[in-house]
Structure 1
Amino acid sequence: MRAPLRSTQWELSLTNRHRVRFFGILITTVSASLGGCGSEPNASATTIVQSANDERAYRHLVLENQLSVIVISDPDSDKAAASLSAYRGSYDNPVERPGLAHFLEHMLFLGTAKYPDVDGYQAYMSTHGGSHNAYTGSDHTNYFFDVDPEFLEGGLDRFAQFFIAPRFDEAYVEREKNAVNSEYQLQLKDDGWRGFMVSKVALNQQHPGSRFNIGSLDTLAGDVRTDLLEFFTENYSADQMGLVVLGNQPLDQLEAWVSELFTGIPNAKRGPGIKPGPLFATGDLPKRLTYQTIKNERSVSFSFPTPSMDAFYRENPLSYVSNLLGHEGEGSLHAVLKQRGWIHSLSGGGGRYDRDNAVVTLDIELTDAGASRIDEITDAVFAYIELIRDHGVQAWRYREQQQLAQLAFRFQDKQSAQSYVRTISPGMNLHPIRDVLIAPYLMEEFDADLIEHLLGYLTRSNVLIEVSGPDVDTDQVEKWFQVPYRIAAILPSPAPAPATKTASVMDMALPQPNPFVPERLELIGSHEELPHLSHEQPGLSIWVARDTSFGVPRASVQLQLATRGGFTTAADAAYADLYGRLVKDALNTYAYPALMAGLGYSIGSDTTGYRIGVHGYSDKLPLLLDRVLNAFSQLELDAERIALYKSQLLQDWGNFRNERPYTQAYASIGHLLVDGRWAPADLAEAIADVDLDRLKAWRTRHHERFNVLGLITGNVALESADELARALEHSLPLADFATTVANVVTLDAQQLTHVLHCEHDDAAMVLYVQGQSDSIAERALYGLSGQLLRAPYFTDLRTEQQLGYAV
């Protein structure tokens, strides 16, 4: 579920989309050393704030054409990468050409004057171990790639030509319209996109965010090439771009390549992009937007528009308020609504919408019972906001968030080269270069007045409430996605319950100090060890691999809890999934503060049995692990909670038939060929009659004994295996027996064809070719074959034949 007003950065042309939780931080400032290039005219004297744990070297450049560049030298990186953000996006579409910015993003991949082959760029990247992609946001378009480091220069040369001399070949202009239209068609039955598009009817219709942004055959009809050339010339200017290049070469070499290859991008001196204006016109709010979903899911969201908070990125009031709104600990809004059985989930967030606007949002996924309690849920939301306003703005809370943020930045995991550069380049237009790495994390100073000012926008008179479900009442149809909806002003309640009374009756409370904030951060040892068997007894084997080579005081415990006979039927798989969800439900209020403090846990199941994992800062990890094991082994089963989570599972499995056809086709390969992977329909049938007595009986059979295999890695002491063994012996009945493993069905020489019937206008085909064995050599050959086939397959089926978008 996603609240449409959380962000305008719906990423077009990407297959994977991620939401990032931001924290605030400041650790250290490191000079972006200019080395021997200090006298170069394009060398900047800017320093870049980076984590003390970050050993990469950074340098900021401004080329002669005013292109802003950051080069990053990482001698240990096994990939090189680059990202260029053009600070123009769908907001800049001509009114009469919706989707033109997105169409331009597509066209830049299809040949340049220097490299005219339509598949030349993709073939180069694929041949040299690379990948590439792009997306069109509201106020920027981000292009990026990665490649084997020794081929970075050639990749940069081809990449730079996108922005210097694209061909815009007339034949491919006509063909690529179909790809954009296919992308549009692909999203028509996706509820996330449907919610995003229908939310536009509630916005200020003069705001560019209210317009259709993907593009279609209709919006791109006629002589679009002329418009494309004009849009490129008018909007793609070097002074409105940011480039990030990462390689294992020295900074001087990276700077030389960038200076030579990218100075040719024209500088039309366009200056900043448009000012979009207010998200809602005066008097527009409060409103209630109700719309129908395709999936059997019900939700309510509360969106509170505020003026831009860009100027306050160092104080970060949005993160402070969001963390309180979305807290899931004891007494939280989430906890009290979940306990009543009204919600499946709740998430609070706040962030930048565009240069003029920010939004604070609460997203709530409802149960069937909750769907009939929206007025009471609304009262609870405003009661909790009032509780924050009256008692939540406190310096100690800010300092705690600040401390956790500092730890998160200092000990952040190293991203892939491509992910890292594509994250940095958009931010070069939002914050001073010195803060471009740290800006999303900063929380420098507690400002009670600023936080209270922000909370002043979280009122009943300044809210868009969105209610969705498959059978809600509607009276209109949205133009582009044909979403049935109704929109109406919210009339003042004649006698709303006092917020303080509601909070008291529902036993709401603000978070207490977090007991999981780590206190001991020293590293244990200073080297990497291979895994070794550290503890063994009947029914229990524990391996240890101490590793502090990344300089982070984190550890991980992974446990495989094999059950006698395994989970080999659909009923076993479904019951195990249900039991795992019930354990997580019982743990949630206790474990949520641990999540906020950099710890986490997981509970899953497979053919062998259960999988339990705990990870995070090693100091407080044993505390969480003990609680997880206790909850797993001592869970008190409750008929109402079983019914609630059974309903959620049936809903999730039932919704699978509304997934995109290619998603269903890929998943079906596993359902057909791998032991223990069951089609959602089979799982739903198996769990249909579960109740308290049946689940108790199932648990008695399958939890009688466990054969446990454990692995402890990271910042751990040598005696950690013995400590874990004692905890497991205390929590679980152990026994030695043969474990069940999943097998892959071996196909014979004949073809196997499986036809899926999908409720979707699109069609999909997946071809699975099975190897002779599962040896490393066989896997390597198949991986190489896929890499070699990827580019020509894409070019022929999508670019040339225009058979589909997801190829």
Structure 2
Amino acid sequence: APNPFIQDPGKPIANTRKATIETQPRTVYFSDSAVGYILTENRYSQPRSDLYIRLRTPLAASSPEASIMSDLLADTLNEYFNSLSYEAALAGVGFSAQSSQSGMTLQFSGYHNSLTLLVDSVLRALPIPLIDEPTWTRLRQLKAQQLARVQAQRPSSRLFDEVTAELMPFAYAQSELNDAFTAIDRSTFHQYQKAFFSGVHAEMFLHGPVSRSEGEELLASWANMLPLDDNTPVVEVATNAWPGDRIRSYAYAHPDQAASVLYIDQRTDPGSRILNQLAGNLIEAPFYTRLRTEKQLGYITFATAFPLYNTPILTGAVQSPTANPDELAAAIQQEFDSFVDMVKSMPNEQFESQRLSLLDQLLNPPSTQSELSNAIWSAIGLRRPFSDRMMQAQTLEAITQEQFVEYLKQRIQNPVVLKAFRAAD
């Protein structure tokens, strides 16, 4: 039979616009349980589309068991649509499903005329049949291997997993996931599969060669194919403040030991996130030089800044086969304690060079269609304003070295100290 997805891809589109860091989609509300975002593609000349559909449900990560079954459900969808995906790939269009803390994302990308057919085919097939025994056995085995790999991860990585589990209500520690996994059998998963597709909220984003009205029509038709339910409770991913003890010790079955010191900012606004990033960029090299090159404390040594969801985290970590975690934690702490003075005394050109370099990265617009699509979809998922990068840039443009030193004095306080000891045999 001929491949139904092979369509005339259409002519290149005149690129009448330039992508900027302020490029924003239009928002369309279809119902209490479905919202769509549409961006007309006329920037990159290709008759291609990116479509993201997130099915949101509290079932996604309400417990360690649910979190694992959500992963397995994404694997099941990818497996089920495997042959369809192969035919679609030959026509220049792709599909994948990924689980997240708020649900499941269905992602489609490729030539627009083929993509619309693929979306129709996938959504019509939902909910897919309950998983059979051979597929279940194989996917469960793959999940077991994945969990075992995480279990064998470096202690420095494991400590970051602990942070995520502590700060995010829908994230779970490795030990919880391992325990949950053993209790999941095929009939439990069948119940989950049925429950997941019994009612969801949906967020959709289409970035393609369509007018606003055409995009709205397409999204409305796809929304009608989804198991939407206005009564499904709204699930919002979030981060909490660090609970309880700020110094904690863990024991892992690994020959190395590690420590991590983290400064967790409660402010999640764009300005706080970009200043956190600047702090990370400024401490990264001296931290490595002191603790790795000069003191040779551990072969894995780094300082970095990142947002966990929207929560700014500034951290340093060292992993070592010889040094004790208490010694590592003290050395890391010392570097951060002297960080304010280091920034205060650094030549202004050095500070400016880092500030302008970060500003340059921010102001660089996406260079491909998929990059722009990803940036917008990410902002939707993180509940950030579409002007987020612009707001970050404004903060960075205005900050002086003196002001940044004052910011650091407030920021470098009240750390969380995590230590990974070698588990007793």
Please give the range of the TM-score, normalised by the shorter of the 2 chains. 0.5 to 0.7
- Whole-angstrom distance in 1 between the partners of 2:253 and 2:106: 34
Matched to 2:298, the amino acid is G
Corresponding residue number in structure 1 for 2:180: 686
**Could you tell me which amino acid in structure 2 is paired with residue 609 of structure 1?**
G
Q: 1:695 aligns with which of 181, 189, 194?
A: 189
Give 1:705 deviation, angstroms: 1.1
Task: State the alpha-carbon separation in 1 of the partners of residues 178 and 14 from structure 2.
Answer: 47
Q: SS state of the match for residue 767, structure 1?
A: strand
Inter-CA distance 515–620: structure 2 relative to 1 (3 Å threshold): closer
For the 8 Å contact 1:544–1:711, the answer to whether it is kept is yes
Please tell me whether residue 580 in structure 1 is matched to residue 38 in structure 2.
no
The answer on 1:628 being equivalent to 2:118 is no
Q: 2:235 aligns with which of 740, 743, 749?
A: 740
Could you report, residue by residue, the CA deviation over 1:139-193 in whole angstroms, capped at 9, with x for unpaired residues? xxxxxxxxxxxxxxxxxxxxxxxxxxxxxxxxxxxxxxxxxxxxxxxxxxxxxxx
The percent of aligned pairs where both chains have the same amino acid is: 20
State the shift of 1:634 in Å. Answer: 2.8
Given the alignment of the two structures, is residue 568 of structure 1 paired with residue 56 of structure 2, yes or no?
no
Equivalent position amino acid for 1:523 in 2: I
Distance in 2 of aligned mates of 1:749 and 1:665: 16
1:537 and 2:18 aligned: no
Distance change (3 Å), C-alpha of 1:524 and 1:685:
farther
When normalised by structure 1's length, the TM-score is: 0.34
Are 1:728 and 2:231 counterparts? no
Cα 1:690–1:748 change in 2 (3 A) is: closer
1:659 maps to: 153
Q: Give the alignment of 1:239-258 within 5 angstroms.
A: none
Relative to structure 1, the CA distance from residue 689 to residue 639 in structure 2 (aligned partners, 3 Å threshold; closer, same or farther) is farther
Find out whether 1:523 has 2:13 as its counterpart: yes
User: How many correspondences in the alignment?
Assistant: 296
Contact 2:29/2:36, CA 8 A, preserved across alignment: yes
Cα distance in 2 for residues equivalent to 1:733 and 1:742: 19
Q: Equivalences for 1:11-410 in 2 at 5 Å?
A: none
Give, in whole Å, the separation in 2 of the partners of 1:667 and 1:539: 32
Change (3 A) 1:744 1:616: same
Amino acid at match of 1:752: I
Aligned equivalents of 2:263 and 2:252: distance in 1? 22
Change (3 A) 1:515 1:770: same
Say whether the 8 Å CA contact 1:530–1:545 is kept in structure 2.
yes
Taking the aligned partners of 1:565 and 1:583, their CA distance within structure 2 comes to: 16
Match of 1:795 among 289, 294, 313: 289
The CA distance in 2 between the partners of 1:633 and 1:517, in whole Å, is: 27
Q: Distance in 2 between matches of 1:562 and 1:800?
A: 49
Question: Using the alignment, how far apart are the partners of 2:139 and 2:37 within structure 1?
Answer: 35
* TM-superposed deviation, 1:748: 6.3
SS of the equivalent of 1:526 reads: coil
Instruction: Name structure 1 gaps, 5 residues minimum.
Output: 1-510
Q: SS of 2:262's equivalent?
A: coil
Q: Residues 561 and 708 of structure 1 are in contact (CA less than 8 Å); yes or no, is this contact kept in structure 2?
A: yes
Q: Report which structure shows greater RCO (CA 8 Å, sep ≥6).
A: 2
Q: Which of 1 and 2 has greater Rg?
A: 1
Whose helix proportion is higher, 1 or 2? 2
CA separation of 1:547/1:655 partners in 2, compared to 1, >3 Å: closer, same or farther? same
Gap change, CA 1:630 and 1:806, over 3 Å in 2: farther
Distance in 2 between the 1:568 and 1:645 partners? Answer: 22
Q: What is the distance in 2 between the residues matched to 1:523 and 1:676?
A: 42
Asked if the contact 2:9–2:47 (Cα under 8 Å) also holds between the matched residues in 1, the reply is no
Equivalent residue runs for 1:702-713 within 5 Å: 702-713=196-207
Residue 716 of structure 1: which of 210, 214, 221 is its match?
210
Are the equivalent residues in 1 in contact too, given 2:54–2:202 (CA < 8 A)?
A: yes
Q: How does 1:634-645 map to 2 (within 5 A)?
A: 634-645=128-139
Give the equivalent residue in structure 2 for 1:486: none
Partner of 2:334: none
Amino acid corresponding to residue 744 of structure 1 in structure 2: T
The corresponding residue for 1:451 is: none
How has the CA–CA distance of structure 1 residues 754 and 631 changed in structure 2, closer, same or farther, with 3 Å as cutoff? farther
